[in-house]
């Protein structure tokens, strides 16, 4: 203890303990140990979240390179850059990587980093599970890409339809790697969903009642529930697929009473909600960025929350619209058409509230806002082509053409990637303590917007004039040449935008303006602590008195004291009103999550080669889990009597 | 942090552990139960879907023998009582009784695993016979996985309660484990009906 420390026995924060001393003790308690070992055993949600974000962006770049390769191949008729077999692997890897290794994980990554800060707590719920989920995700992604490099990458499309993906038509291990990649990423996603739900339910700062939860957090909460109900479907179906392939079950084999459409039902029961699992967090980005840059509270908070929840429910009523051409009964089709159109209502409400916020505010057109406006424009267009596809006659015409490719890139890139880039510009100062360059940001946005529309708008027309998706080449003279060249040119411009972004990140990390706590003048709690935040997030747990706490309490937020500073301790509050209830300990760093994830990896990959891997692989896994949960020390040091 | 903080309250009086919905682990357990229940529901839906595609069900085999599955049902329903008791004494932080309850539940758990092994032997089908067989094996296997995990967890907890690591939070672990066992039993009731009753009545 330092000599100026007048109160060596005080182990809780409060007026009796000097601020500097509180900070120092919290840092001792919460800091991740230095060195490689510390790095591997970290359970700090900010470190894990950063790793998730960086890893997801690496996968985005890899999948983007594959997209460029496809566009080069298709730039003109009858090119020979890629063989048909390689092309099949490439579009499958592109779609699979973008959906499972980039889009979903990157949204979770932002939740892992931001949700605990936004609700005003010191750590995420179940931090070791969080570390575990990252390692499992990483292992699944690396496995898939190593397989691809060894020429055993999956080649049957990102949704692996049977019978093509079944044992008869896809011998070899390619599809097995796909199915196990699903298992890895879904285990990771489910773990994160549970962490987010519990963090939001139980760890909100005192006073943050349900009607004061930031919209980003609402979006992540609804998303997490969708993950809970949707992801088991793809785990069940991909496990059935791998069993059909490896141990001779017959789930999808019509000759033995199985059914190929069962795959499609199970896959799309997950696959359609998947779109909202990507999209709802993106709306959370939009609802965070807009009020800050319009400089007024969000318009229609309650309507926006209800729209989120409604989308969450409706998202599960829609899966059959991916199967209109499979010959289901007609009445059923009409129902799903109606449901597909109904989902336009909550989306419309959201767009209306956002425009009203902008209209009524005093907008400041910084880069995050530019990306949000780009999002609104593109998303409206993508929604329109989506409404067209919801109609059975149109879908029957353009099914499996480039019209569909155009549509889902409008929704996915417009609806998720644009807000995501806005979010990176917005929160980069919080993550790193440095601002990204605004000038490069404007270029980044301009190249994205122009490149994106040039690349994907022509694909609508290509689809309407008959170009099928998933073809590695096409003959000259069909009238497809110019539009394809245009699309490739657009993709190149988009790629230039990505390069500007990478340059901006690299340069700003070293030379960017140093950011203060709240560089944009925002209203939510993550801006109430330093940039980047300390290991324990907040010196004292803030008290929330409104929906825009930092605007409503310009003289600094009131806080509560009484949490231990010599041990990791969290404040738990009640679910509805966020009344303080319990001071709960939070786990220390541990190597066991990594060891357990390694055991899981051995089990999953081993099972591609022999079913017995499930049996003997479960032994190291059991050891890992017991090591994880076994208490490390004697019971906690008892609390001091005098303070 | 230049300004002096404005302290609105001192929370030092709050307890440092809690049971039930006041604890994070209770919600975490509930979250995983939701996930697994969804998995069971989807697998059951697949069973009905395949049944709807097939003329006779089961196609050419006889349904699983009554004996072991139904014994399992009785055993599990009976286990709800010691489970409830263990939960109650854990809520009261009564170490001696918790030890008794956990030992009993470990024994019950191991017994259900033995019965499960006999169940697999009495299914009257193999997983690679046809889609019906695949479905039956997967449903029973899925439930068996839950049994194994929960019994494993119970065993570890039991050992833990005889070590120096007993502290208030351990009792919360025990109550969460009891909640999870209730789920394993609750899942077995409809699954038992699906595997043993449905093929006899359609
Ligand atoms: C960055 C620029 C991108 C370009 C230039 C691009 C290009 C393409 C092209 C040309 C195809 C069609 C391949 C074919 O049918 O032959 C495709 C398919 C696909 N893309 Fe992208 N894409 C991009 C970004 C994304 C993003 C961000 C996502 C998702 C978040 C995504 C998801 C998909 C999916 C799911 C498929 C379907 C794969 C399949 O047919 O199995 N793409 N992309
Ligand atoms: Cu859909």
CB distance from B130 to chain A under 8 Å? Answer: yes
pLDDT digit string, tens, across residues B178-194: 999 999 999 999 999 99
Tell me which chain B residue has its CA closest to the CA of residue A12: B12
Say whether B11 and A583 touch across the interface (CB within 8 A): yes
CA distance A221 to A361: 27
3 state DSSP class of A519 = coil
Q: Which of A198, A206, A629 sits opposite B28 (nearest CB)?
A: A198
Question: Which residue among A60, A95, A415 is best mutated to probe the pocket of ligand 1, counting the most ligand atoms within 8 A of its Cβ?
Answer: A95
Across A364-369, average pLDDT? 97
For residue A331, pLDDT beyond 70: no
Which is more confidently placed, A317 or A105? A105
CA distance B72 to A479: 68
How much distance in Å is there from the Cα of A400 to the middle of ligand 1? 13
The Cβ-side half-sphere exposure at A382, using a 13 Å CA radius, reads: 25
Q: Which of B9, B34, B134 sits opposite A560 (nearest CB)?
A: B9
B6's enclosing H/E stretch is: strand B6-10
pLDDT digit string, tens, across residues A59-79: 999 999 999 999 999 999 999
Where residue A191 falls among pLDDT bands split at 50, 70, 90?
A: very high
Which is more confidently placed, A383 or A23? A23
**Is A173 buried (19+), middle (13-18) or exposed (0-12) by CB count in 10 A?**
middle
B60-75 burial by CB neighbour count: b if 16+ within 10 A, else e? Answer: ebebbeeebbeebbeb
Ligand 1 atom index nearest CA of A103: 30
Percent of chain A with pLDDT over 70: 95
3 state DSSP class of A573 = strand
A300-310 burial by CB neighbour count: b if 16+ within 10 A, else e? Answer: bbebbbebbeb
Closest CA to B118 of B174, B155, B79, B75: B75
**Least confident among A158-167, A391-400, A413-422, B128-137:** A391-400
Which positions in chain B touch A15 (Cβ < 8 Å)?
Answer: 7
For tokens 């569909």, the residue is: A404
Where residue A630 falls among pLDDT bands split at 50, 70, 90?
A: confident
Where residue A637 falls among pLDDT bands split at 50, 70, 90?
A: low
Min Cα distance B75 → chain A (Å) is 26
For residue A6, pLDDT beyond 60: no
Min Cα distance A641 → chain B (Å) is 11
CB distance from B1 to chain A under 8 Å? Answer: yes
Tell me which chain A residue has its CA closest to the CA of residue B149: A622
The answer to whether A238 touches A182, Cβ cutoff 8 Å, is yes
Across B161-170, average pLDDT? 88
- How confident is the model at residue A332, as a pLDDT? 63
Closest CA to A308 of A200, A424, A205: A200
Residues having CB closer than 6 A to ligand 1 are: A 64, 67, 70-71, 91-92, 94-95, 98-99, 103, 157-158, 405, 409, 412-413, 417, 455, 469-470, 491, 494
Min Cα distance A233 → chain B (Å) is 7
For tokens 């303080």, the residue is: A580
Beta bridge pairs of residue A573: A580
Across A86-100, average pLDDT? 98
- Mutate: best of B5, B144, B168, partner A, most A CBs <10 A: B5
**What angle do helix axes A344-360 and A330-342 make, rounded to 10 degrees?**
10
Nearest listed ligand to the Cα of residue A91:
1
CA distance A465 to A480: 8
- How confident is the model at residue A9, as a pLDDT? 67
**Least confident among A133-142, B9-18, B27-36:** B9-18
Min Cα distance B162 → chain A (Å) is 13
- How confident is the model at residue B4, as a pLDDT? 82
- How confident is the model at residue A3, as a pLDDT? 39
Closest CA to A345 of A302, A308, A301, A375: A308
Where residue A5 falls among pLDDT bands split at 50, 70, 90?
A: very low
Which positions in chain B touch A12 (Cβ < 8 Å)?
Answer: 12
With a CB cutoff of 8 Å and minimum separation 6, the contacts of B167 are: A631, A635, A636
- How confident is the model at residue A390, as a pLDDT? 72
How much distance in Å is there from the Cα of B175 to the middle of ligand 1? 48
Across A538-562, average pLDDT? 94
Across A282-287, average pLDDT? 97
For residue A399, pLDDT beyond 90: no
CA quadruple A471, A472, A474, A480: dihedral sign: positive
pLDDT digit string, tens, across residues A116-164: 999 999 999 999 999 999 999 999 999 999 999 999 999 999 999 999 9
3 state DSSP class of A472 = coil
Here the ipTM equals: 0.95
Say whether A253 and B128 touch across the interface (CB within 8 A): no
For residue A4, pLDDT beyond 50: no
């Amino acid at each position: 203890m330092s000599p100026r420390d007048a109160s060596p026995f005080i182990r809780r924060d409060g007026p009796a303990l000097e601020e500097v001393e509180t900070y120092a003790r919290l840092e001792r308690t919460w800091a991740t140990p230095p060195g490689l070992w510390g790095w591997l055993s970290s359970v700090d949600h900010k470190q894990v979240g950063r790793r998730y974000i960086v890893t997801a962006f690496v996968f985005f770049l890899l999948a983007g390179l594959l997209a460029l390769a496809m566009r080069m191949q298709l730039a003109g008729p009858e090119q020979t850059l890629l063989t048909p077999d390689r092309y099949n692997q490439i579009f499958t890897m592109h779609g699979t990587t973008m959906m499972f290794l980039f889009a979903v994980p990157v949204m979770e990554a932002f939740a892992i980093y931001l949700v605990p800060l936004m609700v005003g707590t010191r750590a995420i719920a179940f931090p070791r599970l969080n570390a575990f989920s990252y390692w499992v995700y990483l292992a699944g992604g690396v496995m898939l890409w190593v397989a691809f490099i060894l020429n055993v990458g999956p080649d049957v499309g990102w949704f692996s339809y049977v019978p093509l993906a079944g044992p008869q038509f896809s011998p070899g291990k390619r599809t097995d790697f796909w199915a196990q990649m699903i298992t890895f990423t879904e285990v990771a996603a489910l773990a994160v969903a549970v962490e987010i739900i519990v963090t939001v339910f139980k760890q909100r700062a005192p006073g943050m009642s349900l009607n004061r939860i930031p919209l980003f957090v609402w979006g992540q909460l609804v998303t997490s529930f969708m993950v809970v109900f949707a992801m088991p479907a793809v785990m069940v179906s991909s496990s059935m697929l791998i069993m059909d392939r490896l141990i001779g079950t017959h789930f999808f084999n019509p000759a033995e009473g199985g059914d190929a459409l069962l795959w499609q039902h199970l896959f799309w029961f997950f696959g359609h909600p998947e779109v909202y699992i990507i999209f709802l967090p993106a709306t959370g980005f939009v609802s965070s960025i807009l009020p800050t840059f319009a400089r007024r509270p969000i318009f229609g908070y309650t309507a926006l929350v209800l729209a989120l929840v409604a989308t969450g429910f409706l998202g599960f009523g829609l899966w059959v619209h991916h199967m209109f051409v499979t010959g289901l009964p007609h009445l059923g089709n009409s129902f799903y058409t109606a449901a597909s159109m109904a989902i336009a209502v909550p989306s419309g409400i959201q767009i209306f509230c956002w425009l009203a916020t902008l209209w009524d505010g005093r907008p400041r057109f910084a880069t995050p806002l530019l990306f949000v406006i780009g999002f609104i424009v593109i998303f409206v267009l993508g929604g329109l082509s989506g409404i067209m596809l919801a109609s059975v006659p149109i879908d029957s015409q353009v099914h499996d053409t480039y019209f569909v490719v155009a549509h889902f890139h409008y929704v996915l890139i417009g609806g998720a990637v644009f807000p995501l880039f806005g979010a990176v510009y917005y929160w980069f100062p919080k993550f790193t303590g440095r601002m990204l360059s605004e000038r490069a940001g404007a270029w980044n946005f301009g190249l994205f917007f122009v490149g994106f529309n040039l690349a994907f708008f022509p694909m609508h027309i290509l689809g309407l004039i008959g170009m099928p998706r998933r073809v590695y080449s096409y003959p000259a003279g069909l009238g497809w040449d110019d539009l394809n060249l245009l699309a490739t040119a657009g993709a190149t411009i988009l790629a230039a935008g990505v390069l500007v972004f990478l340059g901006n990140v690299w340069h700003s990390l070293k030379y960017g303006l140093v950011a203060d706590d709240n560089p944009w003048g925002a209203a939510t709690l993550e801006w109430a602590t330093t940039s980047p935040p300390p290991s324990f997030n907040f010196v004292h747990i803030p008290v929330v008195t409104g929906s825009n706490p930092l605007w409503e309490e310009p003289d600094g937020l009131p806080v509560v004291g009484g949490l231990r500073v010599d041990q990791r301790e969290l404040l738990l509050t009640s679910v509805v009103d966020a009344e303080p209830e319990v001071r709960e300990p939070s786990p220390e760093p541990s190597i066991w999550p990594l060891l357990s994830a390694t055991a899981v990896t051995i089990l999953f990959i081993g099972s591609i080669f022999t079913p017995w891997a499930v049996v003997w692989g479960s032994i190291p896994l059991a050891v890992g889990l017991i090591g994880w949960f076994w208490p490390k020390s004697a019971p906690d040091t008892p609390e001091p009597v005098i303070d | 942090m230049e300004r002096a903080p404005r302290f609105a309250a001192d929370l030092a009086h709050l307890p440092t552990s809690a049971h039930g919905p006041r604890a994070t682990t209770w919600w975490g357990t509930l979250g995983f139960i939701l996930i697994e229940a969804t998995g069971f529901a989807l697998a059951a839906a697949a069973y009905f879907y395949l049944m709807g595609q097939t003329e006779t069900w089961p196609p050419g085999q006889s349904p699983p023998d009554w004996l072991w599955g139904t014994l399992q049902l009785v055993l599990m329903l009976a286990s709800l009582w010691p489970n409830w008791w263990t939960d109650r004494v854990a809520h009261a932080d009564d170490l001696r009784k918790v030890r008794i309850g956990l030992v009993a539940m470990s024994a019950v758990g191991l017994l259900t695993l033995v019965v499960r092994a006999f169940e697999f032997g009495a299914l009257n089908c193999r997983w690679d016979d046809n889609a019906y067989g695949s479905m039956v094996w997967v449903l029973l296997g899925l439930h068996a996985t839950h049994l194994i995990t929960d019994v494993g967890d119970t065993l570890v907890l039991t050992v833990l309660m005889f070590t120096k690591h007993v502290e208030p939070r351990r009792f919360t672990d025990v109550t969460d484990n009891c909640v999870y066992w209730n789920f394993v039993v609750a899942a077995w009731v409809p699954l038992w009906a699906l595997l043993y009753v449905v093929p006899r009545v359609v």
